[in-house]
Amino acid sequence: MLTWKDIINFSVNGNLKPDKRIEKSEAEWQSQLTPEQYRITRLKGTERPHSGDMCTSHEAGIYSCICCGTLLFDSTIKFSSGTGWPSFTQPIKDNAVKYEKDTTLGMVRVEIMCNTCDSHLGHVFPDGPEPSGLRYCVNSESLQLEKK
């Protein structure tokens, strides 16, 4: 189980190697994604709180990256954080998510991205429920749900 200490270590010293890498041109990403998906995943945008379809959905399944299909989060570790974005306590695999220090907006945060294609997912915070204490705050537009 990943901890906040692990997350900080990855964001400072480098991430785990992904199982595979997918790289496409910006034109290829634009042709594959809706304008909103492109803005969020490739341009590091954020959807408005409480606006995403997956914010209140608790259907069983696996959440994957909208860009490349990499499995990211299991619905069994999704929780209602009250923040307005889908929230998870752990990625499905330790190397599924990539972490980078983010100093935009005048604060220090840890950005989370798909480790396969570098798609912006959101941010991770150390204020989640036990046992990990982590809250992966993810944009709905960056995910697709493969229902069980």
> Is position 55 annotated as part of the catalytic site?
no
Contact 115, 73 (CB under 8 A): no
Quick one: 92 exposed, middle or buried, by C-beta within 10 A (0-12, 13-18, 19+)?
middle
Cα separations (Å) of 53 from 24, 102, 114? 27, 26, 20
83: left (phi over 0), alpha (psi -120 to 50) or beta: alpha
Instruction: Consult the annotation and say whether 67 binds a ligand.
Output: no
Instruction: Consult the annotation and say whether 55 binds a ligand.
Output: no
- Out of 33, 66, 121, 137, which one is annotated catalytic? 137
Largest CA distance in the chain: 42
Q: How far apart are CA 9 and CA 1, in angstroms?
A: 14
DSSP summary character for residue 77? G
Q: Which residues are catalytic?
A: 137
- Pick out the residues of the known binding site: 65, 68, 114, 117
- Pick out the residues of the known binding site for Zn(2+): 65, 68, 114, 117
